[in-house]
Amino acid sequence: MTTMTDAALAEFKMPDVGEGLTEAEILKWYVQPGDVVTDGQVVCEVETAKAAVELPIPFNGVVRELRFPEGTTVDVGQVIIAVDVAGGSGSTAAAPAAVSVPEPAAPEPEPESAPRGRQPVLVGYGVSEGSTKRRPRKGDVVAVPAAVTQPALAPEPEAPVKGNGRPLAKPPVRKLAKDLGVDLASLTPSGPDGIITREDVHAAVAPAPEPVVTQVQVQVQAQELVAAAPAVVQDGVRETRIPVKGVRKATAAAMVGSAFTAPHVTEFVTVDVTRTMKLVEELKADKEMQGLRVNPLLLIAKALLVAIKRNPEISASWDEAAQEIVRKHYVNLGIAAATPRGLIVPNIKDAHAKTLPELAAALGELVSTAREGKTSPGAMQGGTVTITNVGVFGVDTGTPILNPGEPAILAVGAIKLQPWVHKGKVKPRQVTTLALSFDHRLVDGELGSKVLADVAAILEQPKRLITWA
């Protein structure tokens, strides 16, 4: 999203990421005034209420000014960086201020020859004129920044073009194409509105072997969250105020909405998982699982998928507006992950159709991507059921709150060696406690109990993964 204020200065606005969001926080600038930038170069990282995203700039030039410092929340459509596009040298961008806050000013008119219409933005094909009116924030005065309604800048001559515009692709797809050496202008887009997809890029190169995916248990200490906050703690200060924004703000709203919308019921069961733990060790030595991280969470996830297959009525959602229950004949399995920016719940699409090795690979990629803070907004949408593994923190169990729109969430406690009656004798066995919270509008006590009992039965006798599946 760009505008031209004079013959040499181009302005880049906070893009519409296409997820119904109206603002984003600037986390980090990768460039400074005086730096030379090229078309497609990532200039900053921003955080929306759903994910952290890197923003590429759509033209060549020299950075004249950064309009906002790091840590500032900026509305979609506001100019965040000005670039001198004349000549591509630093001579025309002498002595700019490092960061400045723009004063309100009337925008200058654009050349009459600039084509009107949709503009290149962060995701896909851009917003049309005045489209930011569709998502006003609650409590705000509905107004459109003047810069948003101005005509779009004509494509730079040196940029790759397709027809009369730049190739349309999301930032991760552009980065993928750059890494693989693929010219986006040479591809035929298969996505909606002519958007180039990952599949288009992969189809243009020879298939490469899948990388080994390592699953890492995400454990974030409370002090890391405080350290990440833009607050300075001084000696003698007894309280610190941390602004609520980004992922934390979205999580808070979602949890309050879920807790006071869906009537929660939580049931518990304690189960001997000794045989499951033995199977985990056997699978680690299996050649079909080489290169994959095999752990108890993998078999717990598979057990839940089998339990849902045996009790498909639990896979549903409540449509309040239509007063309908929507049955879902698929499972997008969410995994709650703690990250430095807060709790997120990415999900594995169509997890019910995956083999055990495929599920292991998907789990590993999901967790490592979340840990790196690179989870995309799309990966957190469309979930149908969630697992939260509180056991990694040494916690026995909990009463988890439903992810909004989902019928159930399974909490897995710590697996501990405990005295247990086995074959008539008290023996040390590996035991854990499971907790299943469900929406009582959708799930009766009988159905919820059956699902939880099936998960426990599979973990006690993992051979049921075969006999029941």
Based on the residue annotation, tell me whether 422 is a catalytic residue of this protein: no
Per-residue DSSP letters for 222-241?
Answer: HHHHHHHSS----TT-----
Q: Is 390 helix (H, G, I), strand (E, B) or coil?
A: helix
Degrees, nearest 5: CA angle 267-454-257: 40
Q: Which of 202, 329, 422, 440 is catalytic?
A: 440
Residue whose structure tokens are 């730096």: 35
Angle formed by the axes of helices 445-460 and 274-284, to 10°? 60
Give the Cα separation of 32 and 99 in Å (integer): 9
Distance CA 240, CA 237 (A): 7
Tokens 């599920």, residue?
359
Q: Could you give the C-alpha distances from 38 to 69, 148, 374, in angstroms and in order? A: 21, 23, 23
Question: Measured between alpha carbons, how far is residue 35 from residues 6, 62, 91, 93, 99 in Å?
Answer: 20, 6, 11, 9, 14
H-helix or E-strand spanning residue 262: none
- Burial (Cβ within 10 Å: 0-12, 13-18, ≥19) of residue 362: buried
Phi, psi of 175 (to 5 degrees): -65, -40
Tell which residue, 296, 273, 274, has the closest CA to residue 283. 296
Catalytic residues: 440
